[in-house]
Amino acid sequence: MDFSLTEDRRMLQDSLTRYLTEQYPVEHRNKVAYDLPCHDHAKWDEMAELGALFALAPEDAGGFGGSGFDINVVFEALGTTLNCEPVLGALMASRLMTKAGADQEALLSGATKYAFAVSEVEAPYDPAYIECSAATSGDGHVLSGRKTSVYGGQVAEMFLVAAKLDGKLAVFEVQAADANVVSYPMMDGGGAAELLMDGTRAKLLIADAAYAVQDALNAGVVALCAEAVGAMAVTHDTTVDYLKQRKQFGVPIGKFQVLQHRAVDMLTEIEQSRSITIKAAAELGGADATRYASMAKNMIGRAARLIAEEAIQMHGGIAMTWEYPISHFAKRLIMLDAQLGDTDFHLTRIMNALKAA
């Protein structure tokens, strides 16, 4: 199988990586990431102009991509600078809107920020246990319930909400102005929100949405895996550079064989993670998409923790300081495991799938 990028994807990767490196370095990211709104409106507009959002949707939905490989290109680039803009929410919302055949011009241009509200306190990962309910009211619908950890919800103007309607999972559009949105920064940077609804006006987008919701979640998982690969690669490169520069007993510590072996082990984990992410991206939208997304997320969760811990140990105390980038990369790599299902959740899902087979 040929894993090389097409010309269009390579151009997008080069332009987005160059832009993020020059205009959204980690130093700028840290100024934005930890305080509300955890968002730089000007940089968001510039990213949209580069086509970062248009790459997330297929041509018939107004974009120019939409495949798992397009998602990989965008999010791996975002991971190299720990970009905290609400692209994940836009991706999952775009997948739902594509299934619904809805107009995405405002989303893809960045003019309107969307977020996907699916997780609940009692159902953080599995949409099968959602309790948020919808009811018919006049010629429309109203929603009641609470959604937690809505990524990008702190700046969203429109929410796509997963809720039960007549016993089936459906997706509704809810304007942020009509709901109670409680915003907060996440500990690893970026923002999220709690969405509280009590008889909140909503517009039905997809009536029978079980497949569409799972597809959006699978796309989100692939995106997080790609972001992790980008962040792990930078963490490894930074660590190797440090090993070449830091001296002990008059020689660079990179001369010590044990540290060389540990650096190679890190690289092996990254390449394995990259391979499983490519496979999950290739399967996205297919019959086995959920299984391969879970396989990738489980491996990425374990590998990212190892990379973060090894980088900190080989750097020593400097890696724990706020000013040094590795501390922020390590924090993000650890917390990525908690988003959209941790290693235990996805391992259980894989085992259940194997039992069913």
At 139, which CATH number?
A: 2.40.110.10
Is residue 195 assigned to a domain?
yes
Q: What is the CATH number of the domain that holds 11?
A: 1.10.540.10
Say whether both 153 and 192 belong to one domain: yes
Say whether both 226 and 351 belong to one domain: yes
Please state whether beta strands 158-165 and 114-117 pair in parallel, antiparallel, or not at all (unpaired): parallel
Instruction: Give per-residue burial for 52-79: e unless 16+ CB within 10 Å, then b.
Output: bbbbbbeeebbbebbbbbbbbbbbbbbb
Using CB atoms within 10 Å of the CB of residue 2, give its burial: 0 to 12 exposed, 13 to 18 middle, 19+ buried: exposed
Q: Tell me the backbone φ, ψ of residue 185, rounded to 5 degrees.
A: -85, 145
Say whether both 80 and 183 belong to one domain: no
Say whether both 49 and 179 belong to one domain: no
Say whether both 121 and 35 belong to one domain: no
Say whether both 197 and 220 belong to one domain: no
> How many domains does one find in the chain?
3
Q: Which structure tokens are listed for 260?
A: 């060389």
**Separation of alpha carbons 269 and 263, rounded Å:** 10
Say whether both 178 and 257 belong to one domain: no
Q: Tell me the backbone φ, ψ of residue 252, rounded to 5 degrees.
A: -60, 140
Query: What is the value of pTM for the model shown?
Result: 0.95
Is residue 233 assigned to a domain?
yes
Is residue 75 assigned to a domain?
yes
Please report the pLDDT score of residue 248 as a whole number: 82
Please report the pLDDT score of residue 3 as a whole number: 60
Instruction: Give per-residue burial for 161-196: e unless 16+ CB within 10 Å, then b.
Output: bbbbbeeebbbbbbebeebebebebbebbbbbbbbe
Is residue 59 assigned to a domain?
yes
Could you list the mean pLDDT of each consecutive 10-residue stretch along the chain, which spans 357 residues?
A: 72 92 93 95 95 94 93 96 96 97 96 97 90 89 96 97 95 97 96 96 96 97 98 97 88 86 96 96 95 97 96 93 95 96 94 83
Domain membership of residue 69 as a residue range: 7-112
Q: Tell me the backbone φ, ψ of residue 312, rounded to 5 degrees.
A: -65, -45
Say whether both 281 and 351 belong to one domain: yes
**Omega before 37 cis (within 30°)?**
yes
- Domain end (from 112, 133, 148): 112
What are the helix (H) ranges across 64-209?
Answer: 68-80, 87-100, 105-108
CA dihedral 291, 292, 294, 300 (to 10 degrees): 170
Say whether both 119 and 106 belong to one domain: no
Is residue 298 assigned to a domain?
yes
Is residue 281 assigned to a domain?
yes
